[in-house]
Structures are given as structure tokens and as C-alpha cells.
Amino acid sequence: MTRFAAPIAEQIWDMKYRLKEGDGTPLDRSVEDTWRRVARATAAVEADPAVWEDRFYAALEDFRFLPAGRITAGAGTGRSVTLFNCFVMGTIPDSMGGIFDMLKEAALTMQQGGGIGYDFSTIRPKGADVLGVAADASGPLSFMDVWDSMCRTIMSAGSRRGAMMACMRCDHPDIEDFITAKSDAARLRNFNVSVLVTDAFMEAVKADGPWELVFGGKVYRTIAARDLWNRIMRSTYDYAEPGVIFIDRINQMNNLAYCETIAATNPCGEQPLPPYGACLLGSINLARLVTGAFEEGAHLDEAALDDLVATAVRMMDNVVDASRFPLEAQAREAQAKRRIGLGVTGLADALLMLRLRYGTEEAARQAEAWMKRIARSAYLASVEIAKEKGAFPLFDAEKFLASGALRHMDDDVRAAIREHGIRNALLTSIAPTGTISLYAGNVSSGIEPVFAYAYTRKVLQRDGSRTEEEVVDYAVQMWRDKYGDADLPDFFVNAQTLQPLEHVRMQAAAQKWVDSSISKTINCPEDISFPDFKDVYLEAYETGCKGCTTYRPNEVTGSVLTVSESADREPAAQVSEPGEVVYISEPLDRPQALEGNTYKLKWPGSEHAIYITINDIVLNGHRRPFEIFINSKNMEHFSWTVALTRMISAVFRRGGDVSFVVEELKAVFDPRGGAWMQGKYIPSILAAIGGVIERHLIAIGFIDGEGMGLKSDPHAELVPLGHPRGKSCPSCGSFDLRMIEGCLTCAACGHSKCG
């Protein structure tokens, strides 16, 4: 008997969460071993570990409580990884030395597997005077490019690549450039970007008033607020970015407003955090708590919910003590406030089981009631832990209870906090759960609606063949098990058939009882009018949301997995062709003899030089690169130079414009530091090799000059953006991408843009 509800769940576990030796030998023989490992690790800090290990195991069993992926993958492994998902880094100083100190901290954090957020509003605008230097400032966007290059080279723990959020205030003088920065598809690929929108700005927009762009007390320009708002909206309409964060509301509602100011969020937006703030995440699987699914008396077991929430809060509080942190400042911040982010997944499935249509007022009321129950239980559980272990160090009863989020809390909860204190400063958040929801049997993600009730994915077998398997939503599978082939009732709706304002209604209902924030995507139809699109954001602001993220498929953003209604009313994912990798061209054949050049590269501090040979082929009277050889007497370089030789040669031989290789190599950043060569700072030895290749391509006439090659691989997108299948997954090559909780997520392998 397997605990997994679907084959994809077991595959996700094996690929992402199962503990294995370095050679791939499994140490977790079953998912029960994984649950036991996590339970034992999180109970280790208790006075009676054995008792709490069993309680934690019971919470994890059958996917009822789902700690975030970093906890499931890292707890109890002995590996030097952080169990925290979210970080906002320190305030960036407006100085060159301070900026690069922050860059180093970012690299160290991402190296251990953390996603990071930054407020770039603290850097002076482009063109501003730099005191003591006869030069103008290059502005925050130029430094965002540096961060982006660094991120490209840092592989997070496990198989995750670092993810970053860049924020900028709506009154920064460079805000207009920030808004449109990602309209260049090759720029800032490792960033999500969001505008920090203030209440004053929103009032100026509604009044069609003026808006000053200010830095350091100096007014740089005055523009029309509505014009700036329209620019934000137009960029989001066309490119799905920037997101909008209502930063004043975040600070007003923050339990810790008396001792911190928030100016940024983590990459997916559900965790607004102060400088060096950190938060760990976990989700209650509501779909597992419904009894009598689809029947007249179907209900969510609230007693079981209360018990599960209390256990989850204690378990997550222990993670604060069990986790490693990339930086000491992050450890101090976490210990001082003991933030946790307990959320939900499977909400849409649970509503379906109660025969409620997602997006209706009745469904919103039910979602709000569940979120209030979770908030009450979480706060009371934290009070109980405080009785035993003490309140968080910065707790101040009167100031804490006067905060925005606590003012509408029930009187009995407020009285308990006043008398005993509370262990955790903030407790609730709704995080992206794309991968862990697949792991839990393909339950609906977070508070999102069901995206697709069923779709087919191709699975690569060990013998190289591909098989097809159907992936079915958890609630839909329950319906099939119970009623066979009976048509799905009208209360079954999906992300594509919902109106945008129905999405907003659900987000606002949940936000009322979430003390941090919510990661959610409001899916908009491609043909939504621009005025209607803007109304989505205004409605989000007016109904109490802390931010808003939308996705409108179009020729620029691309299409994602789409859903259509079949004759029997059961929606199914429609993929026009098999999701195989498409090879654009055949590799070029090698002639017997080639012309080429050899270049000597001496990296400062290295005993031995590197010799780079590039051979060219002549096609249609023009020379183009065909192969590369990299050699050195330094055996430390042997393995990676061989790998680089083979990879670059393979790219050269496939044909087409391969100049993007230069830009990719030149962007590689070495956390240990680069070197000055011929009066120019080179960020790594790989970047130096990229420079050699660039000089060769200029010499043979393949590119016109330095920096004039392609910025990205023209073959990276395996099909045109307008193709019915949309974009392919960069991890597995399938076309099962969907926009969920602000992240482009692969339903086939769980890969997420946001790490």
C-alpha cells in the first residue's frame, strides 16, 4: 500500500524531498521515513523529544501538515542548509562599498537555499551627483543588473536556483525605468519586481493629482499620479510585471510596527519582512480534513483543524532553533521575533467537497471563517508555548495588542496574550505551494482555484521511452471514485473560467485573518480590456489586500497550460502536440581541417596560464565558430575546462547565432572575488574566457563589436511565444507550465521560477 494518491506525488517526493546519498542511493526508504526524519529533527529541541516526535509525525502523516519544501528536504539531514524559505536582506547603503557588501551577503544567503528580497529605493537615482568623485550615479537599475548576474551563478541547496524580489518605492526618481525594466526579455531574468505603492499615491491617483519623485529630500520631478499608475498597469498588462505591493497597509497591519519598518518582501510576496528578516513556511492541507465529501452534510472537521494547527505551530517554532542561517544578522532577527508563516493548501478542493463554487460570496465567507479559525488556533497555541518557553524577546503586550492585525482579534485571544505573552510575533501567511501540493496528491495550490481538473503528462522512463499518465486534481479524483463517470456539477470551476474580481474576492476574504500576506495570481483573460484590468488592482486595494499579482496570457508573456470545456462539462488540459523537446537544427558536421587561433589567458594569482583554442568553419563565405579547446597545466581546472569545452563546442555546432555564449560567460560572478585585467574588472575566470571568445568573434566578423552579441539564447524557447503550447519547462522540457501564486510552475516536475 502506498501513501501517495498519484504517481506524480511519489515522483516529486523522490526527486525533491527524499534523502539520498551523494551517489543517489536512497536513505529514506519510504515517505514514512521522510516524515520520521523531519519529526525527529524538529522535536530534538524539546525537553521530551520522543513524545513530540510522535505528535509531529502524526501531523505529517497522510500529508495533513505540509512543511515547506526546504524543511522537508533539509531537516535531519545534517547538511549545511537553511530551513527558512524567505529572507529580506539588509538595507542597501548608498555607497559603492556598502552596495557590494550587500551583494556578498546575498550570494551567501542564496548559496544556502534562501530566496531574497531587496528594496532598491535606497540607492540614489541615475545621474545624481556622487560626492568626492567627478561622476554621476549609475542608478539602482545598474546594480540590479549586478545582482542578476550574481544570482545566475549561485545554485541554491538541492536543485533550487536562487530567486529574488526587487522592490522600489513609487516616489523614487527612477521608478519609470524600474517599471519597464523587464520589457527587455534578456534583462533581470532572476528577479521578480514590484512597486511599493503608498496610500498617498493611491489617493493622488484617484484624485488625478500631481506626484513628486523624491530622493534624499530633493524633488527631482513632478508628474501626474494617474500617468504613473497607468504606466505600472500597462507594463503589468503587457509583461505580467511589476507586481503591486501596498506598503503602507503592510506596515499599518504589522504586529511589530512598534519595532520595525518593512520595505520589501520575499520573492513571492507572501512575506513582507524587515531588514534581515527571515520566515519559515508550512501549510495545513484543508483537503485532508473534510468529511463526507460532496454529500449534503459535508464539513471540515474543525476540532481536527484546531489540533493540527497547534501541533504545526509548535513544530515550526522549533525550526527557528533547529535551522542554520546564512548570516548571523538573520539568526538574531529570527530569534528576536520568532516569525512563522502557517498557511493552507487545498482550499479550493475543500470548497468543492462542500459543494461551494470558488469565487462566490458564500465560498468567500467560508474561506474567511476557516482562516479565522486557523488564526485563533495559531495565536492560542503560541500563547501556550509562551507559558512554557517564554514570549519572543521583543514582545511588548500593549504595543503588540495595539497593532492593526490584533485590533480585530477575539477578546479571549487578546486577553490570553496580555496575560501570558506570545511565542511568535507573526504566525500566518499563505505561501506558494505548487510543489508540495503535487507531493500531497495534486491538491489545489494555496488558496488558488483548481487550475486544471485533469491533464496528461509524458514521463521519461529509465529505458529512454516515454509513457503517458493522467494527472487529476485531488477533489476531481475523489468525485470519480465516488460517482464514476458522472458529469461534474456546476460548482466545479477553474482558474480560467473565473472572473478576475472573483479571484480578488477570495484573496481579500483570506487576507482579513492572515497577519503577513498572501501569494496569489489573479488570472485574467487575454481579451480583458485595459480599464477592466486596472479595476482589478483598485478593487484589491479597496478590499484590504496587501498586494496584487495578475497574469494575462498574450504574445509577450506567452501562453501557459490552458483549459477548455469538453462536451461532458469536465474541463481537461488541452495540449496540441506531445510535450517533447523540439530540436531546432541538426549539429554541423566537422570537416577534416579547420582554421583557428590559440589565445593565452593568465588569471592573476594563478601559477599556470590557460590556453584557449577556437576553430572556425566557413559557411557561405563567412567564418563562424565551430569548436573550442581549453587547456591548462593546473589540474584544479581539469574537470570544469573539459566540461566547458564539450558544452560550448556542442552549442557552436548546432548552428545559428551562438554569440549569447559570450554574454552568459561574461555574467558569471565568483563569490570569492574577480580580478582587474587591463584596467577592467572581470568578475570571474569564466568571464575572462567569455571575453576571449568575444574578441575572437569580433576578429572573424561574427559580431560587430564588444557587447554586441545576443543577450540570451535564441533557442532557449523551444517554440514561439504565440504557439498554442506556450513555453517549455527549463527543467524537464514539458509544456505543462502554469502561472500560480506569481510563479511560472511546471505541473510535470514541480520546477518553479521562484526557486
pLDDT 10s digits, 403-428? 988 999 999 999 999 999 999 999 99
Separation between Cα atoms, residue 60 and residue 83, nearest integer Å: 17
CA–CA dist 379, 405 (Å, integer): 12
Query: Each residue of 458-488: b (16+ CB within 10 Å) or e?
Result: bbeeeeeeeeeeebbbbbbbbbeeeeeeeeb
Q: Say which amino acid occupies 529.
A: S
What is the band of 483 on the pLDDT scale with cuts at 50, 70, 90? Answer: very high
List, for residues 44-79, the tens digit of each pLDDT value.
999 999 999 999 999 999 999 999 998 999 999 998
- Residue 739 vs residue 116, higher pLDDT: 116
Those residues with Cβ within 8 angstroms of residue 189's Cβ, 6 or more apart along the chain or in another chain? 148, 152, 712
**pLDDT confidence tier of residue 130, bands split at 50, 70 and 90:** confident
User: If DSSP codes are grouped into helix, strand and coil, which group holds residue 632?
Assistant: strand
pTM: 0.80
Residue 78 near residue 125 (C-beta atoms within 8 A): no
Which range has the top average pLDDT, 27-36, 85-94, 675-684?
A: 27-36
Q: Quick check: 654 pLDDT over 90?
A: no
Going by C-alpha positions, the residue among 267, 266, 270 that lies closest to residue 278 is: 266
Whole-angstrom distance, CA of residue 93 vs CA of residue 296: 60
Share of the chain above pLDDT 70, in %: 86
Residue type, 185: A
Catalytic site positions:
266, 268, 270
C-alpha cell at 359: 469565487
**Max CA separation in the chain (angstroms):** 85
Mean pLDDT computed over 631-651: 82
pLDDT for residue 34: 97
242 cis-preceded (ω within 30 degrees of 0):
yes
What residues contact residue 128 under an 8 Å CB cut-off, 6+ apart?
Answer: 136, 137, 139, 173, 215
Average pLDDT of the chain, as a whole number: 87
Beta bridge partners of 221: 213
Give the distance from CA 57 to its chain's centroid: 28
The pLDDT score that the predictor gives to residue 657 is 78
Top-ranked range on mean pLDDT: pick from 83-92, 443-452, 532-541, 630-639: 532-541
Answer left, alpha or beta for residue 188, where phi above 0 means left and psi between -120 and 50 means alpha.
left
Phi, psi of 317 (to 5 degrees): -60, -40
Which is more confident, 589 or 274?
A: 274
**Which pLDDT tens digit goes with each residue over 225-260?**
999 999 999 999 998 899 999 999 999 999 999 999
Quick one: CA dihedral 711, 714, 719, 723, positive or negative? positive
